[in-house]
Structure 1
Amino acid sequence: MTERRSARETVALVADGSAFTELPAPPGEPGPDGPLRWPGYDASRARAAERTGERESVVCGTARVEGTRAVLIAFEFGFLGGSLGARTGDRLEAAYTYAREHRLPVVALVATGGSRMQEGMVALTQLQRVARQSVLTREAGLPQIAVLRDPTTGGGWATLGAGADVALALPGAQVGFAGSRVRPADADPAAYTAEAQVAAGAADAVVRPGELRRTLGRWLRLLTSPSAEPATPPEPLGARDLPATGWDAVQRARSPRRPRATAYLDAYFTDRLAISGDRCGGTDDGMLCGFGERDGRTVAYAAQTGTATHPAGYRTAARLIRLADRLGIPVLTLVDTPGAANDAEAERQGAGAAIADLFAAVAGARTPVTTLVIGEGGSGGALALAAPGNTWVTPDSYFSVIAPELAAAILKRPAREVEATADRLRVRPQDLVELGVVRGTVGW
């Protein structure tokens, strides 16, 4: 279990100096013992206020985080377990409204056990209010970042936490929809942790408290730097000469010595942070996604690493592109895959639907998307990540309707004709330029 801090201690952990300006609480007072007239509810609230010094379970205000001004929403778990009631909803709605009016990102420092029992369905419906405010803020093109503290469960996780654009978690924090008192008796407690949620693709990273301010500051800087200019394709890091034959192109792209996505990203960006997971229960190490700084401006990236891409990888890339599109950030994609994963598990995980969703995300993006093929461009599993009209290739790459070996098999040609098939498919960089399917070869 991670160390528990109060709302104001957590604000102090992330805010620059002591400059936190609290937003005024919305006017009005709850009726006697709340909307259900729950016996003793007023007394419980009074004890919580005396114990914590707060009048509600959230503290909202503005502060700078590593120089970037943001609206901070900090939950006070000591106040009735950080639970959401009607007055909590009032404060949250006011905070989101202020963020939109002043064009500020929202950082939610979440620690909650869920909805408040003493307010019944009135409390539960606050989740709809929060969801509406989150949607309006998303439509306004403002980023939302969640920090998952201990615990983050129930409706708070299912709205402010899991609904954020980027979800960071403190080590060992209890994170899950089901709180500890409502889970099956035989439930594995390890499944309800920050680390498990990252592994399942529901959160992006675990961040130690001592690194939280700097990490939040980097994220805020990257996500609040829109640009209308498209990303420039990276310079080639490998071979500079063009291949003589189609089979030469295939062999060069498959060489273990050829530079891969990580080398290109390291050379291209001065700083970058990754998002992880498809928010549907999956991750794929073969698809690297995130935001980086290039020449003082932010560029989003989705990069294949040379392996077969799994459905979770395509969904993560689609998530990245849609987020960048909402924030007005240009996108760079790096294509390098022999093709989409084609095993039975990939089919069960919805390979076709995931690829279709990525095609749609690229096609629908209003922000400029730039693509560089840095290795293998295998069939639709590669094309889904490619920008129509703005795709480039490196000299040691190829792009093909399908791998030459598989093309020969489909056409019922013997193995000895694989190399000739590669030539006939016209997969070389110079062939692709001549065919008009790419804009050019970088470095030429």
Structure 2
Amino acid sequence: MNPLGWPGYDDQLRRARERTGSAESVSWRRDGDAVVVAFDFRFLGGSVGTAAGAVIEEAFGEARTRGLPVVSSIATGGSRMQEGMLSLRQLQRVARLCATHRAAGLPHVSVLRDPTTGGLWASLGAGADVVVGVEGAQVGFAGRRVRPEDGPAYTAEGQFAAGVVDLVVPEDAVAGLVRRLLPLLAGGSAVPAEVPRALGAVDLPADGWSAVERARSTTRPRAARYLDDYFEDRIPLSGDRAGGVDPGLLCGIGRRHGRSVVYIAQTGTATTPAGYRTASRLIRLAGRLALPVLTLVDTPGAANDSAAERAGVGAAIAELFGVVAEARVPITTLVVGEGGSGGALALSAPEHTWIAPDAYFSVIAPELAAAILKRGDVRELTNDLRLRPQDLVRLGVVRGIAEP
């Protein structure tokens, strides 16, 4: 096809077909229980025109008919110049295919090979449920010939640091990762996730300050230990897809007793706006795939410095409250350490929250409550706040105390 009558384009297509043995820059195939869309960069730089767009549409149509996930293995320079605006409009075509696939509750995984640039990165690549980058791959909206500079921002690692890529792995690890990932994304169930067992202290605190001290102890089990104990296998997912990553939040999908569970776990630090936006993204993903959610609460509170305010911490928390309220899948919460104010409550299921014996949940950190109320007796104030696990059960704030 040469819709613009571009001089020499017919010869370019002929040579590309002879060189690659393929009819176009994109092909698709059934690979087990998935449809794989594969790009060949040797074919005119993996560029996409109208014929390549038709191939992608055929692949997504097959996946939707068969109820299968799509894996997009991408290596492209973007739109094909020789087809002008007809080529650029394929981005809208691809976006519609991805949206229809999501609406059907089917997973989409993109693998970003070297290079992944231009409009296909901004549609097929970045729009997937899970985005996997290959180590060292050039990844960016602007290709090397048109961007004003070069640097780490235009790599898979740079996109991971910016919260746009979930994982970065070596080329030889991609196939194994996808084989592990696809079963975790499939087979959703509306049954709530089980409450994790308590891994720390089993006795209850005698007073409020004891509860606070135990929750703040450096020897108390943290989120990573709980996740290791709970799941047989898990794959981390990272980033808010808006330029941010919170290293104090562990997110991903794990397998427990043959069932997939989406997890979101605070690790004891103040949660940033990027962390709350990441949590919202994961809960929405769980809703689309019909997967239950497990949240582990452990934070002194939301980040409240000027950087957090500029990044929209209030709006990010408000969004997460709304996402939890509207969730179409069950959310199970265990408070495993500090439950500090709204920054902790945002990750808590309204009716399905439990607490570990060595944790507490409070309207605000005791020291901050003392400052607000102009009281100097912080230890006594912790008793007035009724923040111990047994107090919270009596108040109806939590459903119960986790058992070992």
Q: TM-score, normalised by structure 2?
A: 0.99
CA distance in 2, matches of 1:222, 1:212: 16
CA–CA distance in structure 1, aligned partners of residues 171 and 91 of structure 2: 28
**Residue identity opposite 2:82 in structure 1:** Q
Per-residue deviation, 1:383: 0.3
Quick check: 2:266–2:298 contact (8 Å CA) kept in 1? Answer: yes
Q: Specify the alignment match of 2:399 in structure 1.
A: 439
- Paired with 1:424 and 1:267, the residues of 2 have a C-alpha distance of 34
The residue aligned with 2:355 is 393
Following superposition, the deviation at residue 435 of structure 1 comes to: 0.6
2:389 aligned residue: 429
Matched, 1:323 2:285: yes
> Which of 1, 10, 15 is the matching residue for 1:47?
15
| Aligned residue runs from structure 1 range 23-422, under 5 A | 30=1, 34-64=2-32, 69-184=33-148, 187-414=149-376, 417-422=377-382
Equivalent position amino acid for 1:297 in 2 = R
Deviations 1:238-280 (A, max 9, x none): 0101111111111110011100000000000010000011111
Q: CA RMSD in A?
A: 0.9
- One-letter amino acid of the structure 1 residue matched with residue 253 of structure 2: F
C-alpha separation in 2, matches of 1:71 and 1:128: 21
Residue by residue, what CA displacement relative to the aligned partner does 1:201-243 show, whole Å, maximum 9, x if unpaired?
1101111122211110110010012112100110100010111
Deviating more after overlay: 370-379 vs 225-234: 225-234
- For residues 419-440 of structure 1, what are the alpha-carbon distances to aligned partners after superposition, in whole Å with 9 as ceiling and x for unaligned? 1111111001011111111101
In 2, Cα distance between the equivalents of 1:62 and 1:359? Answer: 40
Matched residues, number: 404
Offset of 1:413 from its aligned partner? 1.4
Q: Distance in 2 between matches of 1:204 and 1:165?
A: 9
Q: By how many angstroms is 1:183 displaced? A: 0.6
**What SS class does the counterpart of residue 285 from structure 1 fall into?**
coil
Amino acid at match of 1:191: A
Distance apart, 1:305 and its partner CA? 0.1
Give the whole-Å Cα distance in 2 for the aligned partners of 1:79 and 1:210: 23
Local SS of the residue matching 1:336: strand
Which residue identity lines up with residue 137 of structure 1 in the other structure? H
Give the match's secondary structure for 1:274.
Answer: strand
Structure 1 residue matching 2:34: 3-state secondary structure:
strand
* CA distance in 2: counterparts of 1:119 and 1:62, whole angstroms: 29
The answer to whether the 8 A contact 2:255-2:261 is kept is yes
Question: Aligned with 1:395: secondary structure?
Answer: coil
Q: Separation in 1 of the partners of 2:396 and 2:22?
A: 64
Cα distance between partner residues in 2 of 1:133 and 1:353: 30
Amino acid in structure 1 at the alignment position of 2:179 = G
TM-score normalised to the size of structure 1?
0.90
Gaps of 5+ in 2: none
Secondary structure in 2 aligned to 1:334?
A: strand
CA distance in 1 between counterparts of 2:393 and 2:123 reads 47
Distance of 1:390 and 1:353 partners within structure 2: 24
**Alignment identity in percent?**
64
Deviation readout 1:302-353 (Å, 9 max, x if unpaired): 0000010111111111111110111001000000000001111111111111
Q: Which runs of 5+ in 1 are unaligned?
A: 1-29
Aligned-pair CA distance for 1:398: 0.5
SS at match of 1:301: strand
The one-letter code matched in structure 2 to 1:51 is R
**Residue deviations 1:144-181 (CA, integer Å, cap 9, x gap):** 00100010000110011111111111111100000000
Q: Distance in 2 between matches of 1:101 and 1:401?
A: 50
